[in-house]
Amino acid sequence: MIRIAKSPAVPAPLGTRGARHLKKLQETQEADPAACRVADNKLLESRDGIYNDNRVKERLRADQHDKCCYCESYFSSTSYGDVEHFRPKGGYRQDAADALHKPGYYWLAYNWHNLYFACQLCNQRFKGNYFPLRNPADRAQSHADFLSDEQPLLPDPATEDPAAHLSFVDDAAQALDERGAGCIWVFGLDRPELIKRRAERLKSIKQARLLAGLDMSRPLAPAIAGFFRELKLSYADAVEMVAEAQRIWDTAALDSAEFAGMARAYFRRVAQQSQ
């Protein structure tokens, strides 16, 4: 999980159709707040055709470099992504044992700053409607309340740096504080299949660093020349392979790289240990 730089321009459907429907939701809540708090009521349902509009999805995918906002997996290697409401729109749970409380953050259903793209596993199997606060009594219950009174146990990746709360030891997520622990639990960052994928990525980065360190100046060292002969690689092919390894190493910690948060934590730790 890393900080995400979101485009400042609001996608058109949110500012047009979204704004119009938001006005109706606010009027509905103001007309009968008690009814909107009843379990299973559908008075404040949002329209998924607005926030799921392709223009919204594609902007989110581009801003997030085709990665899940939480686990940093590429969508192409996990599943189709979901438009994710950081503060859940339909209802919320403080913890896993809670029933669904209503209303949710209906007034943020079309708010660009509340929207992300998440893989289906993070969004549906794990986070769902969880949105824990340090003090549940501070939770905003309507559009008339102040979100600034809340202290979420999950960092908002567009306004906060998750690295202040969450790190990695090798391929394992490590909580640095209560909010980092919330990330691991709510987003399922310690699920076995995800740990396996991070381990594979870390191994490939190390291999790239090793290969990129080969001295390709001629004449090649006998051991290196023998290595390439064993692989049946021409000098040109070997140079290209080493250049590709250098590219993998150079880009491993960029925002666009899969599991960049892990790479940053691991190689920073390696550098510190060697000092």
| Residue ranges covered by each domain of the chain | 12-150, 192-273
**Token pair for residue 251?**
């880009």
- Position 50 scores a pLDDT of 94
What letter does residue 77 receive in the DSSP assignment? G
Closest by Cα among 117, 105, 199, 127 to 157: 117
Angle made by CA atoms 70, 76, 79, in degrees to the nearest 5: 65
Bond prior to 103 in cis (omega within 30° of 0): yes
Which residue has 């893989």 as its token pair? Answer: 119
- Position 32 scores a pLDDT of 97
Burial of 191: CB neighbours in 10 Å, binned 0-12, 13-18, 19+ = middle
How many alpha carbons fall within 13 Å on the CB side of residue 178?
7
Estimate the share of the chain in helix, then strand, then coil, as percent rounded to the nearest 5.
Answer: 50, 10, 40
Query: Along the 275 residues of the chain, how does pLDDT read in single tens digits?
Result: 999 999 999 999 999 999 999 999 999 999 999 999 999 999 999 998 999 999 999 999 999 999 999 999 998 654 578 899 999 999 999 988 889 999 999 999 999 999 999 998 899 889 999 999 999 999 999 999 999 999 999 999 999 999 999 999 999 999 999 999 999 999 999 999 999 999 999 999 999 999 999 999 999 999 999 989 999 999 999 999 999 999 999 999 999 999 999 999 999 865 566 54
- Position 275 scores a pLDDT of 46
